[in-house]
Structure 1
Amino acid sequence: MNKVTVLGSLNVDSILRFKRFPKPGETLPLTGKSVAGGGKGANQAIAAARAGAQTTFIGKVGQDQEGTFMVQQLTESGVDDRFVQHSDAAATGSAFILLDASSENRILIDGGTNQLVTAEDVEQAQSVIADSTFLIAQFETPIAATQRGFELARAAKQKTILNPAPATDAVPAELLAVTDLIVPNETETETLTGVHITDEASMVAGAQKLQALGVANVIITVGSKGAFWMRGGEHGFVPAFKVDAVDTTAAGDTFIGALSSVLQPDFSNLAEAVRFANRASSLAVQKLGAQPSIPTQAEIVAADQTK
């Protein structure tokens, strides 16, 4: 069983549904609204835990009902919450997900306590990082905290997975130097490398540029098309499973969490792990909400056996 530690965000998601996005100055009625647990970090941790990994979370929530709710979402999925701190300096993070009838989403985020996570907070979890198969992080918490976590993982000879989202072109070279696997989507790849992703040739070019920045292993996710992988000089493309999507909000996070649950620390089964992650993601997009949509290991295996 892989041991996965996730450093990242916890957000309470407010999901607003409507037929189409309003034009400037236009008022439209909602067709529905709901609240669910979210945050890229929490989504990835829950996906890893439900897919079978022993999972621990490092993050911060407010001293409020939303914080209590978010910790409950973690623990109910079997995620160890020992390193989730409660702060009275800000409110728990929140996100507002705008979802139209075609399942296209736009997301607005208030980082709240996610922005208060420090390198010192991460150092308190040094022992669990040193015992983890993988440490995963994203960019919804401060990069300085992520860099410190990755340095601790590298010192302990454990592997790191970076999801560079939301996209930024200000990724320190020092962070990439201690990143073992990077998992951007096509937009994030272009932001990091300047390569516009249109086909497999451009994926190869983008991945090679990421390798030149110091990351040996690369996965570029391309939504409903699938995912491209590169390990050393080897590469391939794993098509997505075709399904009718309802809500794509947690698709990428489910992919990364599920991937970490089955990936070998030497990345020797990268292609097979990508396929497993694709299957998990295909199940997540068929349900509404981020964390409520994330499948269990049994559901992923059953889907593979029946389709």
Structure 2
Amino acid sequence: MANKVTVLGSLNVDTTLRVPRMPLPGETLSTENKSSAAGGKGANQAVAAARAGAETRFIGKVGNDDAGRFMVESLQEDKIDTSAIVTDKTVGTGSAFILLDEEGQNSILVYGGSNQQIKDAEVLAVEDDIAKADFLIAQFETPQAATLAAFTVAKQHGVTTILNPAPAAKIDPAILKVTDLVVPNETESAVLTGIEVTDRASMDANADKFRAMGAKNLIITVGSKGAYYATEKESGFVPAFKVKAVDTTAAGDTFIGALSSQLKSDLSNIESALTFAQRASSLTVQGLGAMPSIPTYDEIIAASKK
């Protein structure tokens, strides 16, 4: 049986500008290439979950514009249920501008647009979509009030909640109390706990702090090094696969989506699910663009056998 994953999140049209290096303040640089693709942390995570085999639904908002229609069609191409995506008549679809240098590093500017207009009532109106899920995923590119409403409903129906607190922001403490698994990177974890992530002891300290704040289970992604995990029963570190990164955009989103496609609701297989997610993420960074580089289940399994 495939995992049922519902994503509450952002839908952005990504415009990527290839640059030789990041510009200095006041400096003008020529871009080497420009491309546009479907993106947004929510959309990327949903596509990653769907391509990795999960039965996926999406809760979100787009503008009444070509970009919004493009985003909905992009999700539907991956057989994602888009019936809970609302069209905002007054605010345009979200967008992101990505500067990508020759080393594969990026800097990203995001315009929230309709993503920021998701209301609690709209989330509560799709309670059935949440109740049917094994996992509900949310990030910080949509309002925290909507996430709190969705996670509260999820817990009433026994759905496992996964919070990706990205981009890093001050968090409503009530959200962590209804979060089963929080998945920040090392920077985001430090922002939320006040404890810098430098070694295993500091990761354990982050896990203790999150537990005290209400989130019982933690995964910290540490870029090319790997991922730390701490559940109520165990903790450990799963190293990343060594590859040459071309574009790190959507690596973290691929990780979370792929993880949700394999994870058991009780997190009992967290180590093997993490290894699968790391493999998926390692494939994403070897391709250009966010959504186009997210791998399928077959591609992830094939890479595992090499």
* TM tier, smaller: over 0.9
> How far off is 1:218 after superposition?
0.4
Within 2, Cα distance between the matches of 1:77 and 1:144?
28
Gaps of 5+ in 2: none
Q: Encode CA deviations 1:58-89: one digit per residue, 9 max, x unaligned.
A: 00001111001101110001110000111111
1:3-22 maps to which residues of 2 (within 5 A)?
3-22=4-23
User: 1:202, CA displacement in angstroms?
Assistant: 1.1
The AA in structure 2 aligned to 1:289 is: G
> Displacement, 1:208?
1.4
| Superimposed CA distance per residue, residues 163-188 of structure 1 (whole angstroms, 9 cap, x where no aligned partner) | 0011012x122111110000000011
Report the counterpart of residue 185 of structure 1 in structure 2: 185
For residues 142-164 of structure 1, what are the alpha-carbon distances to aligned partners after superposition, in whole Å with 9 as ceiling and x for unaligned? Answer: 00000000000000111100000
What are the equivalent positions in structure 2 for 1:137-152 lying under 5 Å apart? 137-152=138-153
- Matched with 1:201 is 201
Q: 2: distance between equivalents of 1:135 and 1:119?
A: 15
Deviates more, 1:9-18 or 1:201-210: 201-210
Q: Distance in 1 between matches of 2:177 and 2:251?
A: 27
Q: 1:119 is aligned with what amino acid? A: D
Distance 1:178 1:196 in 2: 24
**Segment of structure 1 superposing worse, 198-207 or 54-63:** 198-207
Aligned to 1:64: 65
SS at match of 2:208: helix
Shift of 1:211: 1.1
**Separation of aligned partners in 1, 2:23 and 2:118:** 35
Q: Distance in 2 between matches of 1:101 and 1:279?
A: 23
> Which residue does 1:95 correspond to in 2?
96
Identity of aligned residues (%): 59
Could you tell me how far apart the structure 2 residues matched to 1:102 and 1:200 are? 28
Distance in 1 between the 2:28 and 2:5 partners? Answer: 44
* Match of residue 164 from structure 1: 165
Could you list the runs of 4 or more consecutive aligned residues of structure 1 that deviate by over 2 angstroms after TM superposition? none
Deviation at 1:263, TM superposition (A): 0.2
Instruction: State the TM-score, normalizing by the size of structure 2.
Output: 0.98
1:211 aligns with 2:220: no
Residues in 2 aligned to 1:123 and 1:237: alpha-carbon distance in whole angstroms = 37
Measured in 1, the distance between the counterparts of 2:231 and 2:4 equals 22
TM-score by length of 1: 0.98
Counterpart for residue 300 of structure 1 = 300
Partner of 2:91: helix, strand, or coil? coil
Deviations 1:3-54 (A, max 9, x none): 0000000000000011111222222111111001110000000000000000
- Alignment correspondent of 2:117: 116
CA deviation vs aligned residue, 1:197-218 (integer Å, no higher than 9, x gap): 1111211111111111111110
The answer on 1:263 being equivalent to 2:247 is no
Per-residue deviation, 1:233: 4.6
User: Which residue of 2 is the match for residue 286 of structure 1?
Assistant: 286
Partners of 2:256 and 2:172 lie apart in 1 by: 22
Which is worse superposed, 159-168 or 16-25?
A: 16-25
CA distance, structure 1, for counterparts of residue 24 and residue 82 of structure 2: 42
Partner of 1:26: 27
**SS of residue matched to 1:287:** coil
Q: In the alignment, what sits opposite 1:224?
A: 224
Q: Tell me by how many angstroms 1:234 deviates.
A: 1.5
